[in-house]
């Protein structure tokens, strides 16, 4: 029996966009460990998504194309989930993009990069909710269906990989609150906002910069992917009377 069964006793279905990234994979594994059937959303990494589906505990997991900037493709994704599962209980908007550009380098943050960041990080999350809304409304989870947007403390401290990234996460937080109000009571909407997470992407950045970020955090280290994943699981399975909230997993960084 799954750890969080629906009212009918079947395993709940969770769809994760950007599921093959370091943070997405940690979330997928954590939800599978709680008894969820996972829809592993990918953009280009089909083989990695299929391999991840095979590695998870439980059964019924599947890889599915989820290019979040393509609304027609997201509609096709939703139709595929409907045929396979008949509903969606949880959506984790983990797809995101950025590139390191110093905040003072305004010319380095060109229009194409700026637009791409907002298209993926903000519009992509909205489009995914829009595509899956009717399936989420069928959920029998205690507390209703759940959308969790993966945000960042960059939305609060205005420091991150670039100016547009910080702004996109602030927009995502605001949209989280708007959608929580608009979709209640059938669908809860929350955000989990990590500090700098020690993923492969972050490990590829300058070591001195990473050390500086850790030193600026009261807990003196970066977040681990598994810690963020546990916050997502808690938002879905434990915080059943919580919606519109931004849950920080940041080691106290805004305090410094």
Structure token digits, residue 54: 């095979």
**CA dist., res. 249 & res. 153, Å (int):** 8
- Helix/strand/coil for 145: strand
Q: Are 61 and 40 in contact (CB under 8 A)?
A: yes
How many residues in total does the chain contain? 256
Q: What is the dihedral of CA 20, 178, 158, 102, to 10 degrees?
A: 50
Q: Are 44 and 50 in contact (CB under 8 A)?
A: no
Q: Are 190 and 148 in contact (CB under 8 A)?
A: yes
**CA dist., res. 203 & res. 196, Å (int):** 11
**CA dist., res. 179 & res. 171, Å (int):** 12
Q: Active-site residue among 42, 118, 126, 165?
A: 165
Which residue, 249, 228, 242, is CA-closest to 92? 228
Which residue, 250, 157, 158, is CA-closest to 196? 250
Instruction: Identify the residue whose tokens are 């949880």.
Output: 90
Residue 9 burial class via C-beta count within 10 angstroms: exposed 0-12, middle 13-18, buried 19 and up: exposed
Active site residue 42: no
For the annotated catalytic residues, the residue numbers are: 165
């Amino acid at each position: 029996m799954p750890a969080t069964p629906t009212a009918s006793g079947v395993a709940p279905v969770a769809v994760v966009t950007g599921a093959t990234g370091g943070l997405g994979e940690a979330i997928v594994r954590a939800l599978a460990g709680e008894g969820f059937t996972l829809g592993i959303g990918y953009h280009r990494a089909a083989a990695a998504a299929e391999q991840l589906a095979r590695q998870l505990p439980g059964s019924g997991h599947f890889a599915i194309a989820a290019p979040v900037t393509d609304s027609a493709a997201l509609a096709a994704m939703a139709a595929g989930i409907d045929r396979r599962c008949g509903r969606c209980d949880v959506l984790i908007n983990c797809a995101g993009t950025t590139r390191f550009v110093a905040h003072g380098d305004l010319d380095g943050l060109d229009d194409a990069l700026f637009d791409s960041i907002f298209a993926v990080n903000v519009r992509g999350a909205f489009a995914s909710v829009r595509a899956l809304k009717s399936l989420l409304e069928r959920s029998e989870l205690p507390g209703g269906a759940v959308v969790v947007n993966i945000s960042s403390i960059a939305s609060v401290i205005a420091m991150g990989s670039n100016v547009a990234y910080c702004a996109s996460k602030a927009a995502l937080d605001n949209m989280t609150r708007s959608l929580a109000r608009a979709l209640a009571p059938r669908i809860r909407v929350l955000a989990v906002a990590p500090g700098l997470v020690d993923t492969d992407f972050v490990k590829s950045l300058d070591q001195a910069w990473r050390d500086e970020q850790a030193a600026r955090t009261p807990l003196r280290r970066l977040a681990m992917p598994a810690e963020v994943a546990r916050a997502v699981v808690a938002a879905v399975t434990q915080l059943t009377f919580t919606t519109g909230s931004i849950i920080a997993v940041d080691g106290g960084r805004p305090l410094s």
